[in-house]
Structure 1
Amino acid sequence: MNEPEKKHTIIYDTTLRDGSQAEGVSFTVTAKLRVAEKLDQFGIDYIEGGWPGSNPRDMAFFEKATELNLTHAKIAAFGSTRRASSPVEEDPQIKLLLDANTPVVTIFGKSWLLHVTDVLRTTPEENLAMIEDSVRYLKAQGKEVVYDAEHFFDGYLSNPEYALSTLAAAEKGGADFLVLCETNGGKLVPQVKEITETVVKKFPNTKIGMHCHNDAGVGVAVSLTGIEVGAKMVQGTMNGYGERNGNANLTTIIPNLELKMGHTTNCSDHLSKLRDLSFFIDDSTNLRPDIRAPYVGAASFAHKGGVHADAASKSNRSYEHIDPALVGNRTRVLVSDMSGRSSIMMKAKEMGMEVDGRSPEMKSFLEELKRLEFQGYEFEAADASFDLLLKRFLRGEDSAFKVLRYHVGVSSDGSEEESKSEATVKLMVKDEIRHTVAEGNGPISALDHALRNALEKDFPFIQEVRLIDFKVRILESNLGTDAITRVHVESTDGNKTWGTVGVSDNVITASWEALVDSVSYKIQFAS
């Protein structure tokens, strides 16, 4: 019996245009060019580069994009239809779209009569002419044209006949795609399904696309629903970037199409690079990755409860909906006071250690772990501290150095100038005492510098370590300034990243603990 032929879905990425409208997202021209190259390598079909004329950055991108050696993707310039009562040949926005020199032009037009009369302040007939004229003129210039029907679902619910007539105008002009935009992001699956189904039947000769937002938390769901009922193109952004609550997330849509819905995309051969791509996009905007993002998040295949971890160790399918490797992710075991022997053994194996779950050392380690967690320690984001603790209990491994004493002081002459911090650190390293002093722009900075100075003679690679994140959390805040403080530190040497933790009723002591663990871990895996 022959397998049914898989349906093919076209992927249109608007990270560099719609995604850049997200709060906290800003791409440099260089970053936009590098992202475009990565998207092309991943197999994305269309890359929307920006809106020519809206800002100098987008103009610079289009100028340089012609030099990119893309192997598959087509770059699209985005803009609007011609202005009301203005010849399309003389419209400045249309001219800018052509000047962008892209093979594809995407233009949006109004589908909702409310926008036609109250925003454009023109007649319904003129709006239809604006759509048809713009599409036809761009097609005559040799462009592939994607027509985005803005606010289509709101427009359809308000006046279905008129909303459909706007699509007919674009089709008459020669549009290659009619894209249904759920611009406000508030429609749920049943409405989107019914309306998209109607459009697909009404326009059998033109490919239909979906462009959905996530304001109701269903951007991915409604996009996939549109594909399910016949749409051929899906638009979205990597990591769900976009205005307000973001656009439909392509890092979720693509694996769902490939792994759950039996569709093919041109990303098929590169799906195992999905997590790397997701991280690259975040890094390009200097945003921290969402650990709970489906498929690509660090927590996507993480197991914390002892029962879950035990089941996952015997059969990954018991608590994992796919093989994480398919999207470039991996199974992770989190350790906490909920952990049992199975969790610890899986974690140890993940770290390259074989552990006897029945040994007295394992029992002692579990008791110590639960005691520390009760005090406020948390090892889920502090794998390095956990690694050091586990090896100390199960292997008897000690730190490469011993802290004999440390001191830090902050002084100010009372003027408006910044205060000064000075730290002294005394260590025992290889049976020799290292005693150093250093200044910093704060007490933690001074301690960090003094610790590095004390260790760099014996471990010069310590200077590779840099702190990339520092989080302080107050536990039991009802105690005020007497509350326990937990400090999480994230460090990197440029190749590897690791987390450490410290807990104390003194924020400096907690920070010192985390800093010591950070350099101890580097010494351990570098030695």
Structure 2
Amino acid sequence: MSTIKIYDTTLRDGSQAEDVHFSTEDKVRIACKLDELGIHYIEGGWPASNPTDQKFFREIKNYALKNSRIAAFGSTHPAKKTPETDSNLAALIAAETDVVTIFGKTWDVHVHDALRTTLERNLELIYNSLAYLRPRVRELFFDAEHFFDGFKANRDYAVSCLEKALEGGADVVILCDTNGGSTPTEISEIVREVKSRIPDMPFGIHTHNDSELAVANSLMAAELGAVQVQGTINGYGERCGNANLCSIIPCLQLKMGVKCLPEKKLSLLSSTAHYVAEIANLGAFHRQPFVGRSAFAHKGGIHVSAVRRNARTYEHIVPELVGNKQRILLSDLAGQSNILFKAKRYGFHLDKDDPFVLDLLSKLKNLESQGYEYSAAEASFELLLNRTLGRARKYFTLDSYRVLESKRDKDEEPFSEATVMVRVGGMLEHTAATGKGPVNALDNSLRKALEKFYPSLSEMHLADFKVRVFSVNNTNNYSGTASRVRVLIESADHTSQWVTVGVSFNIIEASRQALVDSLNYKLFKDDQQKLTKAIKEAEKD
């Protein structure tokens, strides 16, 4: 098995994405996670550009990384300066990293229009900068910026830039598709010609995703002998992003037989992708290949029937290899296979001819025709499953509720108050509470009524709240503000997260349904945990 080293630039190139900002603390946490994954190189940033990156390079020295080397990033020195007088090169050395990567221009258009110097002087900048850094760093990489565009415009000059980088002491020369406009065919042709001109050059690949080809282009270069592949977790990066390492790594390792992570580390890929998404404060892309929540999700009844017999029928790899898992979704497309699979996952072994299965399938299709979405709200489905089986305890009954909204002054926020009448056993609780908006007021009043009976409800909190406006069909004549809404509420406690759903023409009522399901699921989950614990203790005795 051949080996390719992975160079992650999430902390530098990834942070240039429109919606991404990393603090120094964020960068340190991500670097530790990447080290745990087994990434070879972590580009920490550009020490000459901002205080956050400078602080990161100081802070990361306090951490004993086991697998990764930290790289500092910068540019060749300006045309009007020497290496000795350039603050950018001085900052790279001051960062005291094992690895330094600098980029230089290889496209004559950039030399003339961006640097405003001559082609000959640019070659000097490349050589002088690398030669100055060479004795001062352990590993030295040169990013040939805009190389593929430069090669298409002036191939002899672009190749001469690579030759100067090697003369200056670069360990690896990285060929960059900076504008992201090249195709795999172009990448292949250009890399082959470069290899014919400079046969012994160790080269890497750095691609952008402006044509949706960054992963394909990176894999093409890997197939042609690249020793290093650069990219970012989740493909974060400027414009349309960088090459997505979450796709590149499993393709290299599982499809092409190329080792790029230490043994048994590939299973950490999904959790790493989700962790970085959380730190970046961006919603995870569910349909992302390999690591997305939907990557191994099956909805159609025919698909599920086949997957139950042999997962290979609709899965190109075993999900657990990348730390993901198979999911069976429930919707109005569901067949008996979906029901049987989900029931088994929750501990119920049912036969396809069981009347319960047909009853649940009928209920499911009817509810989803009204707008309920159980493929996302699995907690609501689990409650529905247990209620249909008659195995769900009735923790409380909401007899009635009222929500009041008032606004007295135009400059003040509206005042929200909710009153509920809740029955627990034979006791009736009548409580009221205020909140920041009607949903929060309703949530507060329900908790106020219930926590004296179920103290564990204080452990849960709202993690996410989504509202979607839709029309169930085209004949109900309801649209705009009179449309139905679907509310999805994600709740969490100290051990897990769960999603519940509500549907109504009234957004408060839809929220009430989802809130009540969420509270019920928390109590149901606690009961299941107590039962499991009791069984284990009984087995010990």
Q: Do the aligned residues in 1 keep the contact of 2:173 with 2:202 (CA within 8 Å)?
A: yes
Q: Which amino acid aligns with 2:512?
A: W
Q: 1:360 to 1:322 in 2, by over 3 A?
A: same
Stretch deviating more after TM superposition (281-290 or 244-253): 281-290
TM-score (norm 2): 0.95
- 1:454 is matched with which residue? 449
Q: How far apart in 2 are the matches of 1:40 and 1:486?
A: 41
Residue 376 of structure 2 aligns to a residue whose secondary structure is: coil
Q: How far apart in 2 are the matches of 1:356 and 1:432?
A: 40
Find out whether 1:209 has 2:204 as its counterpart: yes
Deviations 1:122-148 (A, max 9, x none): 000000000011111100223411100
- 2:335 is matched with which residue? 340
Residue 41 of structure 1 aligns to a residue whose secondary structure is: helix
Of residues 256, 262, 270, the one that matches 2:265 is: 270
Q: How far apart in 2 are the matches of 1:517 and 1:410?
A: 24
Q: Which amino acid aligns with 1:89?
A: E
- 2:506 is matched with which residue? 506
- 1:188 is matched with which residue? 183
Residue 185 of structure 1 aligns to a residue whose secondary structure is: coil
- 1:283 is matched with which residue? 278
Stretch deviating more after TM superposition (394-403 or 88-97): 394-403
Displacement, 1:433? Answer: 1.5
Of residues 283, 287, 311, the one that matches 1:316 is: 311
Q: Do the aligned residues in 1 keep the contact of 2:48 with 2:87 (CA within 8 Å)?
A: no
Residue 225 of structure 1 aligns to a residue whose secondary structure is: helix
Find out whether 1:97 has 2:92 as its counterpart: yes
Q: Which amino acid aligns with 1:276?
A: S
Q: 1:300 to 1:90 in 2, by over 3 A?
A: same
Q: Which amino acid aligns with 1:243?
A: E
TM-score (norm 1): 0.97
Residue 181 of structure 1 aligns to a residue whose secondary structure is: strand
Find out whether 1:164 has 2:159 as its counterpart: yes
Residue 479 of structure 2 aligns to a residue whose secondary structure is: helix
Residue 264 of structure 2 aligns to a residue whose secondary structure is: helix
Q: Do the aligned residues in 1 keep the contact of 2:148 with 2:177 (CA within 8 Å)?
A: yes
Displacement, 1:195? Answer: 0.8
Residue 174 of structure 2 aligns to a residue whose secondary structure is: strand
* 1:99-498 paired onto structure 2 within 5 Å: 99-476=94-471, 479-498=479-498
Q: How far apart in 1 are the matches of 2:427 and 2:351?
A: 36
Q: How far apart in 2 are the matches of 1:203 and 1:418?
A: 69
Q: How far apart in 1 are the matches of 2:494 and 2:270?
A: 19
Deviations 1:256-298 (A, max 9, x none): 1110001011344201111111111111112211111111100
Residue 523 of structure 2 aligns to a residue whose secondary structure is: helix
Q: Do the aligned residues in 1 keep the contact of 2:6 with 2:39 (CA within 8 Å)?
A: yes
Q: How far apart in 2 are the matches of 1:519 and 1:285?
A: 30
Q: Do the aligned residues in 2 keep the contact of 1:13 with 1:48 (CA within 8 Å)?
A: yes
Q: How far apart in 1 are the matches of 2:392 and 2:85?
A: 77
Of residues 51, 54, 60, the one that matches 2:55 is: 60
Find out whether 1:77 has 2:72 as its counterpart: yes
Q: Do the aligned residues in 2 keep the contact of 1:410 with 1:419 (CA within 8 Å)?
A: yes
Deviations 1:32-58 (A, max 9, x none): 111111111211111000001211100
Displacement, 1:360? Answer: 1.8
Q: Do the aligned residues in 2 keep the contact of 1:362 with 1:394 (CA within 8 Å)?
A: no
Q: Do the aligned residues in 2 keep the contact of 1:258 with 1:268 (CA within 8 Å)?
A: no
Deviations 1:137-164 (A, max 9, x none): 1002234111000000000000000000
Q: Do the aligned residues in 1 keep the contact of 2:48 with 2:74 (CA within 8 Å)?
A: no
Q: Do the aligned residues in 1 keep the contact of 2:35 with 2:68 (CA within 8 Å)?
A: yes
Q: Do the aligned residues in 1 keep the contact of 2:100 with 2:137 (CA within 8 Å)?
A: no
Q: How far apart in 2 are the matches of 1:431 and 1:115?
A: 79
Displacement, 1:395? Answer: 3.2
Q: Which amino acid aligns with 1:289?
A: A
Extract unaligned runs of 5+ from structure 1.
1-5
Q: 1:444 to 1:117 in 2, by over 3 A?
A: same
Q: Do the aligned residues in 2 keep the contact of 1:200 with 1:231 (CA within 8 Å)?
A: no
Displacement, 1:396? Answer: 4.4
Q: Do the aligned residues in 2 keep the contact of 1:408 with 1:423 (CA within 8 Å)?
A: yes
Extract unaligned runs of 5+ from structure 2.
472-476, 528-541
Deviations 1:9-43 (A, max 9, x none): 01000000000001111111111111111111211
Alignment coverage as a number of residue pairs = 522
Displacement, 1:409? Answer: 0.5
Q: Which amino acid aligns with 1:221?
A: A
Deviations 1:368-419 (A, max 9, x none): 1111111111111100111111111123424311111111111122442211
Q: Do the aligned residues in 1 keep the contact of 2:47 with 2:92 (CA within 8 Å)?
A: yes
Residue 62 of structure 2 aligns to a residue whose secondary structure is: coil
Deviations 1:312-344 (A, max 9, x none): 011000000001010111110000000011011
Q: Which amino acid aligns with 1:249?
A: N
Q: Which amino acid aligns with 1:484?
A: R
Q: Do the aligned residues in 1 keep the contact of 2:392 with 2:524 (CA within 8 Å)?
A: no
Q: How far apart in 2 are the matches of 1:514 and 1:152?
A: 54
Q: Which amino acid aligns with 2:384?
A: L
Q: How far apart in 2 are the matches of 1:65 and 1:409?
A: 52
Q: How far apart in 1 are the matches of 2:490 and 2:367?
A: 20
Q: How far apart in 2 are the matches of 1:333 and 1:400?
A: 28
Q: How far apart in 1 are the matches of 2:481 and 2:128?
A: 68
* 1:37-52 paired onto structure 2 within 5 Å: 37-52=32-47
Q: Which amino acid aligns with 2:33?
A: K
Q: How far apart in 2 are the matches of 1:396 and 1:503?
A: 24
Q: Do the aligned residues in 2 keep the contact of 1:304 with 1:333 (CA within 8 Å)?
A: yes
Q: How far apart in 2 are the matches of 1:460 and 1:276?
A: 32
Q: How far apart in 2 are the matches of 1:142 and 1:474?
A: 57
Q: Do the aligned residues in 1 keep the contact of 2:99 with 2:137 (CA within 8 Å)?
A: no
Stretch deviating more after TM superposition (262-271 or 362-371): 262-271
Stretch deviating more after TM superposition (62-71 or 443-452): 62-71
Stretch deviating more after TM superposition (324-333 or 362-371): 362-371
Q: How far apart in 2 are the matches of 1:521 and 1:457?
A: 18
Displacement, 1:499? Answer: 0.7
Displacement, 1:448? Answer: 0.5
- 1:3 is matched with which residue? none
